[in-house]
Amino acid sequence: MFVDEITVEVYGGRGGNGVAIYRREKFVEYGGPWGGNGGHGGSVIFVGEEGKTTLIDLRYQRHIKAKMGINGRTKGQHGANAEHTYIRVPLGTIIYTEDKSFKIGEITEHNQEVVVAKGGKGGRGNMAFATHRNPAPDYAENGDPGVHRKILVELKVLADVGLIGYPSVGKSTLISVVSNAKPKIAEYPFTTLHPNLGMVQVGDESFVLADLPGLIENAHLGLGLGIQFLKHIERCRVFLHVLDLTREDPYADYIKINHELEMYNDELLERPQIVVANKIDMPGNDDKLEVLKSKITAPLIVISAHQRTDIDKLLKKTLEELKKAPKVFDHTPDYVKNYTFEGDEPAFIITRTDDGFELSGEKLRLVFERTDFTKEEAVKRFARQIRSMGIDDALRKEGAKHQDTIRIFDYEFEFIE
């Protein structure tokens, strides 16, 4: 089965906790802090895999969770960083936030990596907090939570050259004789239900060819296999427009298919096309061929895919056009570079509740998550940290009074003046 769009949930691993531990040795009178840092959580990383052509694997893993970092230990030993979780995806995979408002990344090359959910940083152990003023801190940080989000994963097949044309004109037959691809071939329309990719070798050069499902009139409106496959031709730099000489009016077919391309995305008409008149082995079609020759200005190559007539000529011409053709980029705007929580969001948000105030915000959450609330010293440190963020002043400005309840995530405090 072919899957080219899917939503999955990804979870970066939580960072390991730092620990608060003291040194106890026979001849050391005052043991110092000796707790190590936690290891970093693993990230979920998508990696490009040349041979893959579908996102089907993701259908069976809708929740992808990376491993947690290991907690710090005594003797100042740091916990190990968790291994990353790698998911192999086809080239041409584009990753968006669930609502598609942001593009997180795009994979166009073999072994290229895109981090889709970063793991959390490990927390610092009490050894890391020791200073002259506070040589024996009795607190450590918890690890940061990993990024958790829903992502929309979309595949737009990445091929250099795309085969387009009506059903049954011989597109699959052609890819099967020029490449390693083994598509289904049959005389009924819509034999090909999803794109097939093949590597075509021409001398010591090569290109990737895509066999696409047949198009019919009004495909751009959803007819036949329709629009869902038109997106796969958007990335091809050259089209082989296959015409079947045994059809009634191959020239009319040519016009109609080009119209479909134009209606879907008018830029597609600017891509170089080579017109491939197929099935020349079938007699009685000379008149139709003459019409094509007189009316079509694009390069025209006459072949028989079945008999392998003039295939070399076609491949040489294709390579020639490919060398001249400009690169094609995905046009979805790329916001990934400024898509971070830091900077975009306020450090904290104050909302009024029935009995007091509620605090939220990504930065505050991070400070909160790092705090080990079972340790009194850690709680005091948390209070100092949020004071330095300006939260006390802001609460006062919002009208907070002595003994008002302040809720911070699942914790409650009393406001003390």
Ligand X SMILES: Nc1nc2c(ncn2[C@@H]2O[C@H](COP(=O)(O)OP(=O)(O)OP(=O)(O)O)[C@@H](O)[C@H]2O)c(=O)[nH]1
- What residue ranges bind Mg ion (CB under 5 A)? 172, 191-192
Q: Is 265 left (phi over 0), alpha (psi -120 to 50) or beta?
A: beta
190 near ligand X, rule: CB under 6 A: yes
Q: What is the smallest separation between the CB atom of 271 and ligand X, expressed in angstroms?
A: 19
From the CA atom positions of the chain, what is the Rg in Å?
Answer: 31
Work out what residue 304 binds among Mg ion, ligand X, none; the CB cut-off runs from 5 to 8 Å by kind: ligand X
C-beta closer to Mg ion: residue 192 or 278: 192
Give CA–CA dist 165/192, Å, rounded. 12
305 near ligand X, rule: CB under 6 A: yes
C-beta closer to ligand X: residue 125 or 213: 213
**Residue of 53, 85, 168, 371 that binds ligand X (CB under 6 A):** 168
| Contact present, 179 and 200 (Cβ < 8 Å) | yes
The gap from C-alpha 277 to its chain's centroid, in whole angstroms, comes to 38
Structure letter (DSSP) for residue 187: S
186 near ligand X, rule: CB under 6 A: yes
Please give the backbone phi and psi of residue 129, each rounded to the nearest 5 degrees, phi first: -95, -5
Between helices 171-178 and 311-324, what is the axis angle to 10°? 90
The token pair that represents 270 in the structure block: 């600017």
189 near ligand X, rule: CB under 6 A: yes
179 near ligand X, rule: CB under 6 A: no
Q: What is the smallest separation between the CB atom of 276 and ligand X, expressed in angstroms?
A: 10
173 near ligand X, rule: CB under 6 A: yes
- Only one of the segments 22-30, 82-90, 144-152, 276-284 lies at the binding site for ligand X (rule: CB under 6 A); that segment is 276-284
Give CA–CA dist 67/85, Å, rounded. 8
- Only one of the segments 16-24, 182-190, 198-206, 402-410 lies at the binding site for ligand X (rule: CB under 6 A); that segment is 182-190
**Residue of 43, 85, 172, 273 that binds ligand X (CB under 6 A):** 172
Q: What is the smallest separation between the CB atom of 289 and Mg ion, expressed in angstroms?
A: 23
278 near ligand X, rule: CB under 6 A: yes
Q: Which amino acid is at 370?
A: R
167 near ligand X, rule: CB under 6 A: yes
Beta pairing partners, 309: 304
Work out what residue 50 binds among ligand X, Mg ion, none; the CB cut-off runs from 5 to 8 Å by kind: none
Give CA–CA dist 14/39, Å, rounded. 9
Q: What is the smallest separation between the CB atom of 229 and ligand X, expressed in angstroms?
A: 10
Find, among 146, 211, 137, the residue nearest to 178 by Cα.
211
15 near ligand X, rule: CB under 6 A: no
C-beta closer to ligand X: residue 210 or 400: 210
Give CA–CA dist 103/82, Å, rounded. 26
* Contact pattern for ligand X over residues 388 through 417, marking x by CB under 6 A: ------------------------------
343: number of CA atoms within 13 Å, CB side? 4
Secondary structure (3-state) at 321 = helix
Question: Nearest residue by C-beta to ligand X?
Answer: 214
Q: What is the smallest separation between the CB atom of 168 and ligand X, expressed in angstroms?
A: 4
Work out what residue 281 binds among ligand X, Mg ion, none; the CB cut-off runs from 5 to 8 Å by kind: ligand X
Helices (H), 265-347: 286-295, 311-324
**According to CB under 6 A, which residues from 213 to 232 bind ligand X?**
213-214
No. of helices (H) and no. of strands (E), the chain = 10, 18
**Residue of 85, 192, 318, 371 that binds ligand X (CB under 6 A):** 192
The token pair that represents 19 in the structure block: 């620990």
C-beta closer to ligand X: residue 39 or 250: 250
**Residue of 66, 114, 151, 169 that binds ligand X (CB under 6 A):** 169
Tally of CB atoms within 10 A around 305: 26
285 near ligand X, rule: CB under 6 A: no
C-beta closer to Mg ion: residue 134 or 191: 191
Q: Where are the beta strands (DSSP E) in 334-389?
A: 349-352, 356-360
C-beta closer to Mg ion: residue 172 or 318: 172
Secondary structure (3-state) at 258 = helix
Q: Is 75 left (phi over 0), alpha (psi -120 to 50) or beta?
A: left
Work out what residue 124 binds among Mg ion, ligand X, none; the CB cut-off runs from 5 to 8 Å by kind: none
Work out what residue 305 binds among Mg ion, ligand X, none; the CB cut-off runs from 5 to 8 Å by kind: ligand X
Residues that bind ligand X (CB under 6 A): 167-173, 185-187, 189-192, 213-214, 278-279, 281-282, 304-306
